C-alpha cells in the first residue's frame, strides 16, 4: 500500500501533454468517422435487400420457380430462366476453372521474371478492366461467328469465361503464392520436380482458396447481362435447354426484359425475379464462405 502511495507522485507523468491530447482527439474523431462510413455502407445493402424482400417475396412461390414464363414474362414463372442461368454459370465455371488455374500455375510456379511475364501480367490486369459489353461483342465475333458455335449456351458460357478469366487467374495466383516458399524449397532440395512439388504440396494447400476465389468471381458472372444477350440468351423460351448448342433464357436478361421491355407486367414480378437472382448469388457466396471457414479452421502451419 505504501508502495502505491509513493508511486502516486509519478502519476502526473501520465498527464497528456498538449500534443498528445491533440493526437488523442484526432485519433478518436477519425475512428468515429471511419466507423460512420462503414455503417453507411450497410444502408444501400440493407435497403436493396429490404425492398426486394418486401416487394418480391409475396410473388415468390414454388410454382413461380418451376413454371416457364408466358406472355413475355408477364405471366407464368421463371423456371427456364433459372435453369438457363445454371447452365450458363456451369459452362463458364467449367471453362474458366481449368484454363484459369493452369495459367495461374504457370505464372506463379514456372514463369521467370522477364518481359514476357510482365507483359502477360499487364495484359491480365487490363483485360479485367474491359467493360462487359466489349466482351459481348468479342464473344459474338469470336464464338458465335468465327468458331461457329452459333448463338448458344456454349458461346455465351465461353464469353462469360473469357470475361472472368483475368480475375480467376489473379485470385488463383494469390492462393498459390500464399503457400510458403520454404515448402517449395524443401521439396526441390529433395529432388522433386516443379510439378511434383505443385501436385503434392502447393495445390493441396491452396485448393480451398482457389475454389473460394473462383466461386466469388463466377457469381459475379451470374448477374451479367451484356455478355450473354448477344451470344446465347434469348427473350423467351419455354423449353429447358438440352445441350450446349441450345439457346436459353437467363435470370439477368429476364429481369431486364420484364422491367423495361414487356408491357402489362404485374408490379411484383420484376422484384421477385430480382430476389431470385440475389438468392442464387447469395447461395453461391455461402458455399464460398463455407470453404473459407473450412480453410481457416484447418490451420496447417
> Could you list the residues that contact other proteins (CB under 8 A)?
112-113, 182-194, 196, 200-201, 204-205, 299-301
Report d(CA 161, CA 163) in Å as an integer.
Answer: 5
Q: Which is nearer to other proteins, 183 or 240 (CB)?
A: 183
CB of 193 to other proteins, least distance (A): 6
Q: Which is nearer to other proteins, 63 or 185 (CB)?
A: 185
CB of 185 to other proteins, least distance (A): 7
Q: Which is nearer to other proteins, 162 or 202 (CB)?
A: 202
Q: Which is nearer to other proteins, 27 or 193 (CB)?
A: 193
Q: Which is nearer to other proteins, 170 or 187 (CB)?
A: 187
CB of 92 to other proteins, least distance (A): 32
CB of 259 to other proteins, least distance (A): 50
Given a contact cutoff of 8 angstroms between Cβ atoms, the answer to whether 88 and 153 are in contact is: yes
CB of 118 to other proteins, least distance (A): 14
Cβ neighbours of 231 (radius 10 Å): 30
What single string gives the DSSP state of each residue in 15-57? S--HHHHHHHHHHHHHHHHHHHHHHHHHHHHHHHHHHHHHHHG
Report d(CA 152, CA 30) in Å as an integer.
Answer: 53
Burial (CB < 10 A; 0-12, 13-18, 19+), residue 54, is exposed
Given a contact cutoff of 8 angstroms between Cβ atoms, the answer to whether 80 and 249 are in contact is: yes
CB of 205 to other proteins, least distance (A): 5
In angstroms, what is the C-alpha Rg of the chain?
Answer: 26
Question: Cell numbers at residue 1, please?
Answer: 500500500
Instruction: Please choose, from the candidates 102, 153, 159, the residue with its C-alpha nearest in 3D space to the C-alpha of residue 135.
Output: 159
Q: Which is nearer to other proteins, 131 or 204 (CB)?
A: 204
Amino acid at each position: 500500500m505504501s508502495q502505491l502511495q509513493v508511486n502516486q507522485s509519478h502519476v502526473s507523468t501520465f498527464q497528456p501533454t498538449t500534443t498528445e491530447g491533440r493526437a488523442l482527439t484526432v485519433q478518436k474523431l477519425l475512428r468515429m468517422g471511419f466507423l460512420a462510413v462503414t455503417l453507411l455502407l450497410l444502408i444501400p445493402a440493407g435497403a436493396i435487400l429490404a425492398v426486394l424482400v418486401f416487394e418480391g417475396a409475396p410473388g415468390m412461390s414454388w410454382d413461380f420457380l418451376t413454371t416457364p414464363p408466358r406472355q413475355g414474362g408477364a405471366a407464368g414463372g421463371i423456371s427456364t430462366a433459372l435453369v438457363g442461368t445454371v447452365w450458363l454459370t456451369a459452362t463458364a465455371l467449367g471453362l474458366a476453372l481449368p484454363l484459369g488455374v493452369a495459367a495461374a500455375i504457370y505464372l506463379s510456379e514456372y514463369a521467370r521474371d522477364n518481359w514476357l511475364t510482365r507483359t502477360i501480367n499487364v495484359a491480365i490486369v487490363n483485360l479485367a478492366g474491359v467493360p462487359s459489353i466489349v466482351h459481348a461483342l468479342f464473344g459474338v465475333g469470336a464464338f458465335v461467328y468465327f468458331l461457329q458455335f452459333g448463338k448458344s449456351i456454349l458461346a455465351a458460357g465461353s464469353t462469360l469465361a473469357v470475361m472472368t478469366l483475368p480475375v480467376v487467374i489473379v485470385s488463383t495466383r494469390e492462393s498459390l503464392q500464399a503457400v510458403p516458399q520454404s515448402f517449395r524449397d524443401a521439396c526441390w532440395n529433395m529432388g522433386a520436380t516443379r510439378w511434383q512439388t505443385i501436385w503434392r504440396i502447393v495445390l493441396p494447400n491452396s485448393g480451398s482458396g482457389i475454389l473460394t476465389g473462383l466461386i466469388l468471381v463466377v457469381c459475379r458472372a451470374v448477374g451479367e447481362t451484356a455478355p450473354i444477350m448477344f451470344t446465347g440468351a434469348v427473350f423467351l423460351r419455354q423449353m429447358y435447354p438440352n445441350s450446349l448448342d441450345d439457346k436459353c433464357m437467363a435470370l439477368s436478361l429476364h429481369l431486364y426484359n420484364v422491367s423495361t421491355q414487356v408491357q402489362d407486367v404485374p408490379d411484383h414480378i420484376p422484384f421477385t425475379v430480382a430476389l431470385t437472382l440475389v438468392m442464387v448469388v447469395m447461395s453461391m457466396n455461402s458455399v464460398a464462405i463455407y470453404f473459407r471457414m473450412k480453410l481457416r479452421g484447418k490451420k496447417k502451419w
